[in-house]
Each structure stands twice: as structure tokens, then as C-alpha cells.
Structure 1
Amino acid sequence: MATYFIGDIQGCYQELRLLLEQVSFSPDKDELWVAGDMVARGPDSYHTLKYLMSLEDSVKAVLGNHDLHLLATYAGLKKAKDKDKLQALLSAPEIENIIEWLARQPLLRKLPNEQVYMSHAGLSPQWKIKNAIECADFATKKLSDKNRNYWLSIMYGETPNNWQDVNSKEDKFRYTINALTRMRYCYKDGSLDFSCKSSPENTPNHLSPWFCQTTKQLKKAHWVFGHWAALEGDVPVENIYALDTGCVWGGELTLLRWHDKQYFRQQAIKN
């Protein structure tokens, strides 16, 4: 059995299948851990989700910001954007089942029997790992219960961006969503910034990448994430793995085989 981690697929279905062919992926004996953003911007979000669902228990996904936006769009809280290329997915006859499957996916996963964690964006410097686990579980329950649409409706916003300012369940939900699916840079006190999306060599002096502030929390743990294509998979921290290499932007789709830390890549197909 092999465990594979994969970065942001974003509807790049052909590249996904070709990449899994490279490693002879078998759902009977292997697992595929998906670091969020399964949909949007790429050409075929519909078949991407259909395929991932067909893998049943061999796929272990977390939600990314684009996946959450799809839930909000389906709920009528946001308008579908042409650039997201979600028309075929939203008009699919089985869309309700797809949405329910998506809404059941957590925001954070841990590899059994190992200190290996996966989220879409990373670990807030203002959290210990136990805080991230508790908050992710809290938000996941809200997204999968009957009041999902209420929580989706209050999901958007950039405050509070400091964990010390969380004073309500709504604050906790929004901070958790932002930390686990949107975060890239943080201020020196660990509070979240949402404006800067550039690569670290162009970082303003008042900001630093989240992973440069989490060395104590992750001293004995590993963290796998996606979300940040500008990194091109390069993180100067030994136990942190960045897997978004911008396939949807013409880059590559990246797969990490965990037991030997070998990477496999599939170049984006020009359509």
C-alpha cells in the first residue's frame, strides 16, 4: 500500500488521471490524499469530482477555498463566475449528491499512526496543532449539518484575523476557514494577512510566510498543504511540503509518495 498526497487539482482532470497512471495508482491498495481546491478554473471540475468520489474510501480530501466557494454558489449565496468553469458541474443531474459528498470532507486530516497533517492553506502561527484539530472539527460539523447555508453565508470576510479577537462561534468559524483555506502570509504577531500573494522573495518586511512562524508547533510533526502556487513547491522548512505547483495556470500537477518522499509531476496539458 502507498499513500500519495496531491496538490490543487482545480478541475485538471486529464492531468490527474495521467499523474496517477505514472505511479500505477490502485484504489484497492493505495490512498490518495487531496490537499483541497479540487474544483474551479480548470476545464473539467465535474469529472474530477466524479472520479474522486468513485475512489470511495481510498480518497482522503480536505476542502480548499474554491471548494467552499462552490458550496456557497450551489446554495445561492454567490453567483457562479465564468472563469471558474463550473457550468457543467452545477448543471449535472447528480449535483446534489456531489455537493453532499463535498460538504462532508473535513478541513484537516491526520495520517493514522503518524504526526502528519494536511490542510489546504497551512497551520496558523497563533494555534497549536490541538487548536487546529479542534477548530477544524468544529467548522466541519457546521458545514455538514442542516444549517450549512447559514454558516456559508457568514464565511466571507477578513475579520477577525487575530485568534485573540475571536469572541463568538461565528468569529471562530470565519477565522478557521481563513486560516485553513486562505492563509499565506502573517504579520509578526501571527495574525493573518490576505492581501499579499507573491512569492517569499518579494515579501514586504512586515509580513512573513506562515510556515516561517510555526517551527515550534511543527518541531515533531509534518504538514502538507497546497493553495500557494507562487511557491512552486519550494519551502525552506524540512518538514513542510507545498504541493500546489500551478497546474491550472500552465504549471504542473504534483504528487508526493509519502513513504519514500518521492515526487511525481505531470505538466499541464494545453487545451
Structure 2
Amino acid sequence: MATYAIGDIHGCFKTFGRLLERIEFDPAHDRLWLTGDLINGGPDPLATLRWVIDHDDVVTTVLGNHDLHMLAVAAGTREMRKKDNFEAIFEAEDRDDLLGWLHRQPLVRRADGYLMVHAALLPDWSAEQALALSGEVEAMLQGDSPGEFFEHMYGNKPTKWRDDWSGAERLRVIINAMTRLRVVEPKGGMAFDFSGPIEDLPEDRRPWFEADEPAWSDHTVIFGHWSALGVHKVGRVACLDSGCVWGGKLTAMRLDDEAIFQVTSEMPKRV
């Protein structure tokens, strides 16, 4: 039995299938961790989502920013953008089941010394607190009025965490950190103005995971979202988004020995 963590699929279902062949995935014995952003951008988000749900007993996933955005559009609180390709999911006969399943997914997972999140964790958060904060968002997603929650989800502020945040501000900081963050300012404030390769970082920005002695450092954090960073396994972090939707590669890491497996994307290379 092996467990494989896989980076952002973004609806690239054929590439995902080839990666499963590459790792000789056997659902009778193996398990998958998926870093979120299952949909959007790639040619077949519907098939991707259906496959993941059909294998729910052996697949563990977290929500990414694109997954949350689709739920907001479905709730009628956000307009679909030109680059969004949610139509097949919205028009599917099992639409309600698909969206309902996404509503039940968390932002953070933990097992065997690993934490998985789509984008980042703030340094003040221990593993236990990160899971609890993810639970607060889960409660809203599964509550009676998720549309109201989505109305307040968007925005870049507040930029720092405070334990006494409440309401929309509290949830927005949690979601922004866990599904959107890549870099922070010198004093630790979240910044959303950079998504390029790490070698191009401005002097006043640093990766979120370079904080001194973060509270989560007793775990290894697996994440995606930062496609320009690519596969990046340093210390207690492992980024697995290698730009599949941009014509790069789709990456799997076997957790038992942290071996890396990759296949080339079905998407054309985009610069």
C-alpha cells in the first residue's frame, strides 16, 4: 500500500489518468492526496470531479481557490469569468451531488506527520489550530446560508491573523491564507501581488514558508497553488504544483519515501 500526493489537476483528466498509470495506482491498495483546484482551466473538469468522487473512499482532498470560486458562482454570488469553464459541471444531471460533495471538503488535512493545504499556513498556526480554523470554514460551507458566506469571501484584507478576528474578516483571512497565499511582506502581512518564480521575488517579499520557527513546523506541509514555484521540497514543505494547466507537468510524490513521479501535461505550453 502506498499513498501519493498529487498537485493541482485543474480538470486535466487525461494527464491525471496517465499519472495514475505512471505510479501504477491500485485503488484496492493505494491512496491519493490531492492538493485542491480539481477543476477549471483544463479540458475536462467534469470527468475529473466525477472520478474523484467515485473514488472518495481512497482519495483525500482539500479545497483550492478555484473550487471555492466555482461554489460561489453556483450560489449566484459571483459571475462566471471568461476563463472559467464550469458549464459542464453546472449542466450535469448530477450537478447537485457534485457541488454538494465539494461543500463537504475541508481546507486542511492531517495524517502521518503531514499537513495538506492548497496554498499556505500562517506561522502562528499550529497543526491543531489550522485544522480547527478549517473546521470553521467547513461549518459555513455546510450551513444554511453559504451564499451569504460567499458574498464576503473575496478581498485581500485583513492581511494578518489575529485570534480575536470574527465574522467575515476572520473567515477571509483563513481562506486567503489557505487557498491564495504565496508570499508575505517583511513584517509578515499577506501579499497577493506576486505569483512568479522564486528567483524573481522582489526584495520586499518572501515565500510564506520561510517564517522563523512556525508553529506548524512539527509537520511537513504539502501544498500546491504556486505553479511558478514548481516542485519544491525543502525542509518541512513540499510544493507539488508543477503547472499542469499551463502546459507543464503533473506531479505525484509518494509519501512513504517522498519519491517524485511526473507526466507531461495534455495542455499546450503557455508562457
- 1:57 is paired with a residue whose SS is coil
Q: Please list the CA deviations of residues 218-258 of structure 1 after superposition, one character each: whole Å capped at 9, or x if unmatched.
A: 443100000000101125x3221100000000000001111
In 2, distance between residues paired with 1:180 and 1:263? 24
Q: Look up the match of 2:229.
A: 231
Figure out how many residues of one structure are paired with residues of the other and give that number: 268
Identity %: 37
In 2, distance between residues paired with 1:216 and 1:77? 35
Higher helix share: 1
- Check if 1:67 corresponds to 2:67: yes
Runs of 4+ in 1 over 4 A off after TM superposition: none
Q: Look up the match of 1:27.
A: 27
How is 1:146-165 mapped onto 2 (pairs within 5 angstroms)? 146-164=144-162
Q: Contact 2:115 / 2:127 at 8 angstroms: preserved in 1? A: no
Quote the offset at 1:148 in angstroms: 1.2
Q: Look up the match of 2:248.
A: 251
When residues 166 and 246 of structure 1 are mapped into structure 2, their CA distance, relative to the original with a 3 A threshold, is farther
RMSD between superposed Cα atoms in Å:
1.5
Partner AA of 2:125 in structure 1:
W
- Check if 1:84 corresponds to 2:84: yes
Q: Contact 2:245 / 2:267 at 8 angstroms: preserved in 1? A: no
Quote the offset at 1:214 in angstroms: 5.2
Partner AA of 2:193 in structure 1:
S
How is 1:1-271 mapped onto 2 (pairs within 5 angstroms)? 1-111=1-111, 114-164=112-162, 167-213=165-211, 215-235=213-233, 237-270=234-267
Scaled by the length of structure 1, what TM-score is found? 0.94
Q: Contact 1:62 / 1:108 at 8 angstroms: preserved in 2? A: yes
Q: Which runs of 5+ in 1 are unaligned?
A: none
In 1, distance between residues paired with 2:185 and 2:125? 14
Quote the offset at 1:123 in angstroms: 1.0
Quote the offset at 1:165 in angstroms: 8.3
Quote the offset at 1:86 in angstroms: 1.8
Structure 1 stretch displaced more, 158-167 or 203-212: 158-167
Q: Contact 1:228 / 1:244 at 8 angstroms: preserved in 2? A: yes
